[in-house]
Structure 1
Amino acid sequence: MNTASQPLFDLSGRVALVTGSGQGMGLGIVRALATQGARVIINDYYADRAETSAQALRAEGFQVCAAPGDITKPEVRQQIIDVARKEFGNIDILVHNAGVPPGMPDSLRKFRDLEDKDFEVQLDLNLRAVLGLTRLVLDGMCERKFGRVVIISSESWRVGLSYGLSNYAAAKAAALGFMRQLAHEVGRSGVTANALSLGCMNNFGYDEVAKAQTAVGRAGTPDDVGAAVAYLASSEASWMTGQVLALNGGSVTA
């Protein structure tokens, strides 16, 4: 239980890895976790983006480092974990934020126009990379009796849309099924697994859509996502597991 001298959601001494975090929502998550005291590894597909963001945050006094690379490749996943352990130690908090392959959303096409390779691209990033990275850190989390696995998902798994998201939504839904099973397997080892399901965010030009479709009348921001992840990563969230939390500004309320 927290006392007056111990702030809520304190992550001091924790090490976090956030995938796809060189910009946007991922960088908002990094900033939130670092603000709460965590040492954070910034992963991004683009090395220059990861390095630039890490340098900027270090200049502000945060403990961060860059570990860029394509997480769909097993050997790269291991390299990222090796960098994290060398720089900061074992990972306590794993945030699966990377979810938009290069070329998306410009490459969106409806199901009848998709080929098998279009599903493989999404499954590689939004399912197989989630499984692979989780496997690399889970044993240590269980041994240390503390771990947080957070999947950043999308409301496209819950709500049908006409944009051409069938392959993306299918991969996201698969990862959520994994998350629920994982929560039951490792809950008694002090490890939780949860997901945030995001609505219209202020990237990809969805601001006007969000104004019309959300209860609060605006799109979500990196700060919104970061705050929610900071809670899920904290000791205070030890009784929250196996859940998909809708973070959508009230666009879906059922």
Structure 2
Amino acid sequence: MLFSLEGRVALVTGAGRGMGLGVAQALAGQGAALVVNDIDAGRAREAADELASRGHRAVGLACDVTDRAAIERMLLAAREALGPVDILVNNAGLPAGWQADNVRFVQSKPENWQRYVELNLYGVMQMTQAVLPGMIERGHGRVVIVSSESWRMGTDMGLAAYAASKAGAIGFMRQLAAETGRQGVTVNAVSLGTMNNWEGAEALAARINPVPRAGSPADIGAACVYLASDEASWVTGQILPLNGGSLMA
């Protein structure tokens, strides 16, 4: 079967709901055992229980991905339940506009920039470094970073700090891919356009996208399945745009 993930253990961060849950469902559908991470323990358990009810092996584990000690405890529990992690999807992150509303950079507050960097960049780096030694030792690993088209496309939407953190994660991805390719570990990113997780997204996407709809959790899940599979073993250091054609470059 193409894109089979049988025998693999996948960890998806921020997977208790929304886009991350869609990724977890897609990976499980191809045979992977799932570690469902979320900062909210209840969401993580509910998502894992939903996967288990469909016959998949899954465990829900809460963890703040910026807390290295908590990450190590989570990975220990994951190994005991399912085995070592073969596939890491770094989905957890602080969304654009996590404050009441987006503001132009000149009006923004430095204390709010830091949280974007801590979660969208350092969280990705912390999670990746924690699983990387095991992947290298086994000679196989897949790391996927969920990013945003805001890192390469300017908009007048008050996204400066958010976009900076996402651009940082892309730079990290490319450097890590160069370091680990000869050791059997690939590192790639999916870069998201307008997704259907906020009010008004469908109307905006219908107006600007050649494919006139917003992206869905299933769209991200399919891309992550490919990048996690053996069929993508020659793909590393790459960015897969998922944007309905809104940006073609």
Same fold (TM over 0.5): yes
In structure 1, the residue matched to 2:193 is 199
In structure 1, the residue matched to 2:2 is 8
Match of 2:244 among 245, 249, 254: 249
In structure 2, the residue matched to 1:83 is 77
| Corresponding letter in the other structure for 1:127 | L
Q: CA deviation at 1:162?
A: 1.5
Deviates more, 1:10-19 or 1:114-123: 114-123
In structure 1, the residue matched to 2:104 is 110
Q: CA deviation at 1:103?
A: 7.4
Secondary structure of the residue aligned to 1:138 is: helix
Q: Aligned pairs, how many?
A: 248
Q: 2: distance between equivalents of 1:102 and 1:58? A: 32
Q: 1: distance between equivalents of 2:245 and 2:96? A: 29
Q: CA deviation at 1:115?
A: 2.2
CA distances 1:132-179 after superposition (whole Å, capped 9, x unpaired): 111111111111111001000000111111221111110010010010
In structure 2, the residue matched to 1:124 is 118
Match of 1:181 among 165, 175, 182: 175
Q: Contact between 1:123 and 1:171, CA under 8 Å: does it hold in 2? A: yes
Q: 1: distance between equivalents of 2:169 and 2:246? A: 22
Query: Runs of at least 4 residues of structure 1 off by over 2 A?
Result: 100-103, 105-109
Q: 2: distance between equivalents of 1:112 and 1:238? A: 44
In structure 2, the residue matched to 1:22 is 16
Q: Contact between 1:28 and 1:226, CA under 8 Å: does it hold in 2? A: yes
Secondary structure of the residue aligned to 1:246 is: strand
Deviates more, 1:168-177 or 1:103-112: 103-112
Q: Contact between 1:101 and 1:125, CA under 8 Å: does it hold in 2? A: no
In structure 2, the residue matched to 1:4 is none
Is the aligned partner of 1:152 residue 2:146? yes
Is the aligned partner of 1:210 residue 2:205? yes
CA distances 1:176-215 after superposition (whole Å, capped 9, x unpaired): 0010000010001110000000001110121110111111
Q: CA deviation at 1:100?
A: 2.2
Structure 2 runs not aligned, ≥5 long: none
Secondary structure of the residue aligned to 1:160 is: coil
Structure-1-length-normalised TM-score: 0.94
Q: 2: distance between equivalents of 1:48 and 1:102? A: 24
Q: CA deviation at 1:108?
A: 2.5
Secondary structure of the residue aligned to 1:43 is: strand
Q: Contact between 2:9 and 2:87, CA under 8 Å: does it hold in 1? A: yes
Q: Contact between 2:96 and 2:102, CA under 8 Å: does it hold in 1? A: no
Is the aligned partner of 1:71 residue 2:65? yes
Provide the alpha-carbon RMSD of the alignment. Answer: 1.4
In structure 2, the residue matched to 1:3 is none
In structure 2, the residue matched to 1:221 is 216
Q: 2: distance between equivalents of 1:29 and 1:15? A: 13
Q: 2: distance between equivalents of 1:172 and 1:102? A: 10
Secondary structure of the residue aligned to 1:94 is: strand
Q: Percent of aligned pairs with the same residue?
A: 51
Secondary structure of the residue aligned to 1:67 is: strand
Q: Contact between 1:127 and 1:175, CA under 8 Å: does it hold in 2? A: yes
Structure 1 runs not aligned, ≥5 long: 1-6
